[in-house]
Amino acid sequence: MSIEELEHTADLRFRVRAPTLSALFAEAARALMQTLYADLQGPVTESRSIELESEDRESLLYDFLSEVLFLSEAENLVFSAAELTVTPSPPSVTGRLGGRPFDPAVHAGGTEVKGISYSDLAIREAGGEFCLEVLFDV
């Protein structure tokens, strides 16, 4: 599994790779959290359930990351773990996000993300690996 930042003129673009679709979604959430917060270390003391369904994988990923961003901001939580199950038909994701309350002394210093972009959002499967490129609007 890997997260790679790609060049982009105004926003933040990432390429994420993982062996399964479920792991890919978890890694995409980790990329989002690493953007927002300076440090993801520390014990998991809070968890939130997540259950979403969408029309296709890309829309599901968009909805999922948007929900992670919303939950993080609305509930002042920094997520550092995700146990997810992504099913292809119908495209859905269920599971739990784990983290802890935001602590300015630990987590401050990240980059504010205004939203997730549909621009060039794509999930591909090749060579037994899933790969996506996603753009965070900053």
**What's the pLDDT tens digit per position in 117-129?**
998 899 999 899 9
Provide the whole-model pTM: 0.93
**Distance between CA atoms of 58 and 87, rounded to whole angstroms?**
13
Q: What is the dihedral of CA 37, 80, 31, 124, to 10 degrees?
A: -170
Beta strands in the chain (DSSP E): 2-6, 12-18, 46-53, 77-88, 91-101, 115-126, 129-137
Task: Name the residue ranges covered by the structural domains of the chain.
Answer: 2-137
- Per-residue pLDDT of the chain in tens (138 residues, 90 and over written 9): 677 666 656 589 999 999 999 999 999 999 999 999 999 988 999 999 999 999 999 999 999 999 999 999 999 999 999 999 999 999 999 999 999 999 999 999 999 999 999 988 999 998 999 999 999 998
CATH class of 2-137: alpha beta
Q: Are 96 and 67 in contact (CB under 8 A)?
A: no
Q: Are 11 and 136 in contact (CB under 8 A)?
A: yes
